[in-house]
C-alpha cells in the first residue's frame, strides 16, 4: 500500500468520524431545541380582549399565550367574567367583568385544589391581624409598613376606595376602584370581595400560571425569608438546597406529572416535601398536611393529628433516605424542639407572666424594652433555631439560632426582667426557680477539671498563648 493510499484511508476515516459526531450532535441538540409553541386557543368571548391587550399590556398577553390556559382555550373572559350582582362587577367593553380573580373563580375548574387550599393554613394567613406581628407593623411602624410589607405576604382584606360621603369611588367608566391600601395584593391569605380567601397567583404567577414556577423554592422564599422565618435561607445552605441549585437542569420542572422518584430524582424543593406527589400519595394544596410541629409560637406544640401528618412527611423522606436515617433525624428534631421549650421558652414565658401578674408591665405592647427583648428571643432567634433544625440547616440551628438565643436569654432578657421587677419578690422567685434548673447549671461555674480540659485542648491545637 502506497503512502498516498494510506493518507486517503486516514482522511476518509477522519471524515466519517467527523460526520458521525455531527449526526450525534444534531440528534442530541434536537432534544434541546425549542418546539414550536402551540397556537393559543382564544375563547369566543375573549378575542377583542386579546387584541386590545396585545397593544396596551403586551407582556400580559404574551405570558398568557405561553400558558397551559391558552392551549385549552381558557382566556381573559373565562377567568375575569362576573355576574351583574357581584360586588366588584363592572361593564367593560360590553362585558361584565371583575378585576380580581379569586380562588372561588379558579375553583370553577380546579374544584379539588381550591377545596384543599381552603382548608390549609395558607388560606388563613390574613388572620394574623390581631397578632403582635401586626401590632408592630400597623401601629408601631405605621399602616403603610403593614400594607406594603406584612399584608403582601399574609394578604389584605380587599375593600373599595370611598368618597367623602362613604359611597364607592368609581372611575369615569363606572368601574369601582379598589382601596390602594388593600390592592394590588397577592398575599396568600387575601380576603376577597366574594368572601373567598387566598390568591392562587401568590404561587402561580399570572398570567402564565406555570407549574414550573410554583415548584421553584424562590416562590416560597418571597415570604418565607428574613430574621423571623428564614426558610429559604436555611434551604439554600442545606444539602437539599445545594443539590437543587447544582442539578436544577435535571429537575424536570415543566413536566405535567411531577412525582418524586419517578419524574425527577435530582433534589427536593419546598413543594417536593410539603405539597407534591410521591408514589404513595397525591399532590396536595394543603401545605400543612405533612407538618407535625408548629414552630411559630413562643412554646412549640405538636399539631392535631400530628402522627398522621408525620407519616405523610416520612413517606416523602423515605423516597430518598433509609428508614434509620429518617428515624434518627426525627429523634433529634423532636428532642431539640423540646430543649427549646424546656430551657428557654417556658422559663421566659413564666417570667413575663409573673411580671404582668404583678403589674410590673403596662398593658400596652412594645412600650417597654423588655418586651422587645422577649419578642426577639422567641420570634426571631428562637424560630431560627427551631426552623434550622427542622430543615437541617446547621448554621441557622447554631450560630443564627441557639447561640443568639442563649446570648439574648442570659445577658439581655434576664437582666431586663430583673430590672423591670424592681425587687418584686414573686418575680425574683420565678426567675431564680427558672435558673436553678439543671439546664442552666453552667451559670454556677465550671469545675477546675472542666476548665483544665478546655485549656489543654486549646494549648494542643493553637499553642500555649491560646489557653485562657
- CATH code for position 343: 1.20.850.10
Based on the domain organization, do 132 and 276 belong to the same domain? no
Based on the domain organization, do 314 and 228 belong to the same domain? yes
Express each pLDDT in 164-180 by its tens digit: 999 999 999 999 999 99
Based on the domain organization, do 86 and 137 belong to the same domain? yes
Q: What is the pLDDT of residue 454?
A: 87
**Percent of residues in the chain assigned helix, strand, coil, to nearest 5:** 60, 5, 40
Q: Identify the band that residue 464 occupies on the pLDDT scale cut at 50, 70 and 90.
A: confident
What is the percentage of the chain residues whose pLDDT exceeds 90? 83
Q: What is the pLDDT of residue 41?
A: 93
Based on the domain organization, do 205 and 215 belong to the same domain? no
20, pLDDT greater than 80? no
Domain that holds residue 120: 53-209
Does the residue 358 lie in any domain? yes
Please give the backbone phi and psi of residue 311, each rounded to the nearest 5 degrees, phi first. -60, -35
Does the residue 333 lie in any domain? yes
Q: What is the pLDDT of residue 169?
A: 97
Q: Identify the band that residue 349 occupies on the pLDDT scale cut at 50, 70 and 90.
A: very high
Q: Tally the residues of the chain.
A: 468
Question: Which of 67-85 are b and which e, b meaning 16 or more Cβ less than 10 Å from the residue's Cβ?
Answer: bebbeeebbbbbbbbbeee
Of 161, 181, 209, which marks where a domain is finished?
209
Q: What is the pLDDT of residue 12?
A: 74
Based on the domain organization, do 193 and 340 belong to the same domain? no
Q: Which of 29-33, 316-320, 377-381 has the lowest mean pLDDT?
A: 29-33
Does the residue 62 lie in any domain? yes
Q: Identify the band that residue 201 occupies on the pLDDT scale cut at 50, 70 and 90.
A: very high
Does the residue 34 lie in any domain? no
Q: What is the pLDDT of residue 26?
A: 66
Based on the domain organization, do 179 and 316 belong to the same domain? no
Based on the domain organization, do 200 and 324 belong to the same domain? no
Express each pLDDT in 205-222 by its tens digit: 999 999 999 999 999 999
Based on the domain organization, do 261 and 173 belong to the same domain? no
Does the residue 13 lie in any domain? no
Overall domain count for the chain: 2
Question: Which of 355-367 are b and which e, b meaning 16 or more Cβ less than 10 Å from the residue's Cβ?
Answer: beebebbeeeeee
Does the residue 152 lie in any domain? yes
Express each pLDDT in 289-315 by its tens digit: 999 999 999 999 999 999 999 999 999
Based on the domain organization, do 395 and 307 belong to the same domain? yes
Express each pLDDT in 351-385 by its tens digit: 999 999 999 999 999 999 999 999 999 999 999 99
Question: Which of 148-170 are b and which e, b meaning 16 or more Cβ less than 10 Å from the residue's Cβ?
Answer: eebbbbbbbbbebeeeeeeeeee
107, pLDDT greater than 90? yes
Pairwise CA distance, residues 452 & 448, whole Å: 6
Instruction: Please report how many Cα atoms fall inside a 13 Å half-sphere around the Cα of residue 13, on the Cβ side.
Output: 6
Does the residue 10 lie in any domain? no
Based on the domain organization, do 248 and 393 belong to the same domain? yes
Q: What is the pLDDT of residue 356?
A: 97
Whether residue 148 is preceded by a cis peptide bond, meaning omega within 30 degrees of 0, is no
Q: Which of 125-129, 239-243, 400-404 has the lowest mean pLDDT?
A: 125-129
Based on the domain organization, do 422 and 273 belong to the same domain? yes
Based on the domain organization, do 411 and 337 belong to the same domain? yes
Write down the pTM of the prediction.
Answer: 0.88
Does the residue 22 lie in any domain? no
Amino acid at each position: 500500500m502506497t503512502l498516498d493510499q494510506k493518507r486517503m484511508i486516514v482522511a476518509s476515516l477522519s471524515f466519517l468520524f467527523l460526520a458521525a459526531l455531527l449526526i450525534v450532535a444534531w440528534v442530541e441538540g434536537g432534544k434541546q431545541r425549542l418546539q414550536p409553541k402551540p397556537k393559543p386557543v382564544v375563547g369566543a368571548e375573549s378575542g377583542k380582549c386579546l387584541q386590545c391587550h396585545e397593544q396596551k399590556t403586551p407582556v400580559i398577553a404574551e405570558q398568557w399565550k405561553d400558558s397551559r390556559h391558552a392551549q385549552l382555550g381558557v382566556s381573559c373572559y373565562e377567568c375575569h367574567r362576573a355576574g351583574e350582582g357581584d360586588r366588584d362587577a363592572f361593564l367593560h367593553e360590553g362585558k361584565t367583568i371583575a378585576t380580581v380573580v379569586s380562588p372561588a373563580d379558579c375553583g370553577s375548574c380546579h374544584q379539588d385544589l381550591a377545596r384543599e387550599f381552603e382548608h390549609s393554613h395558607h388560606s388563613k394567613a390574613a388572620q394574623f391581624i390581631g397578632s403582635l406581628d401586626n401590632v408592630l407593623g400597623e401601629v408601631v411602624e405605621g399602616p403603610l409598613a403593614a400594607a406594603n410589607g406584612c399584608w403582601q405576604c399574609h394578604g389584605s382584606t380587599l375593600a373599595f376606595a370611598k368618597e367623602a360621603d362613604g359611597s364607592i369611588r368609581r372611575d369615569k367608566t363606572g368601574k369601582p376602584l379598589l382601596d390602594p391600601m388593600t390592592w394590588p395584593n397577592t398575599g396568600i391569605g387575601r380576603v376577597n370581595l366574594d368572601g373567598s380567601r387566598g390568591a392562587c397567583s401568590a404561587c402561580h404567577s399570572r398570567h402564565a400560571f406555570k407549574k414550573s414556577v410554583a415548584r421553584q423554592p424562590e416562590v416560597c422564599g418571597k415570604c418565607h425569608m428574613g430574621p423571623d422565618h428564614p426558610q429559604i435561607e436555611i434551604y439554600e445552605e442545606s444539602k437539599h438546597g445545594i443539590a437543587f441549585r447544582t442539578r436544577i437542569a435535571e429537575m424536570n420542572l415543566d413536566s405535567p406529572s411531577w412525582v418524586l422518584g419517578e419524574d425527577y430524582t435530582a433534589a427536593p424543593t419546598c413543594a417536593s416535601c410539603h405539597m407534591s406527589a410521591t408514589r404513595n400519595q397525591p399532590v396536595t394544596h394543603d401545605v400543612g398536611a405533612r407538618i407535625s410541629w408548629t414552630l411559630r409560637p413562643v412554646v412549640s406544640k405538636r399539631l392535631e393529628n400530628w402522627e398522621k401528618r408525620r407519616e405523610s412527611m416520612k413517606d416523602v423522606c423515605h423516597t430518598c433516605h433509609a428508614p434509620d436515617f429518617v428515624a434518627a433525624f426525627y429523634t433529634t428534631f423532636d428532642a431539640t424542639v423540646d430543649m427549646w421549650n424546656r430551657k428557654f421558652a417556658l422559663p421566659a414565658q413564666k417570667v413575663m407572666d409573673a411580671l404582668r401578674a404583678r403589674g410590673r408591665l403596662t398593658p400596652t405592647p412594645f412600650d417597654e424594652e423588655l418586651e422587645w427583648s422577649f419578642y426577639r428571643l422567641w420570634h426571631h432567634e428562637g424560630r431560627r433555631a427551631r426552623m434550622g433544625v427542622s430543615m437541617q440547616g446547621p448554621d441557622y440551628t447554631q450560630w443564627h439560632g441557639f447561640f443568639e438565643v442563649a446570648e439574648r436569654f442570659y445577658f439581655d432578657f434576664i437582666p431586663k426582667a430583673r430590672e423591670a421587677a424592681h425587687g418584686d419578690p414573686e418575680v425574683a422567685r420565678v426567675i431564680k426557680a427558672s435558673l436553678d434548673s439543671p439546664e442552666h447549671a453552667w451559670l454556677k461555674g465550671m469545675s477546675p477539671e472542666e476548665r483544665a480540659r478546655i485549656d489543654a485542648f486549646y494549648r494542643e491545637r493553637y499553642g500555649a498563648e491560646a489557653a485562657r
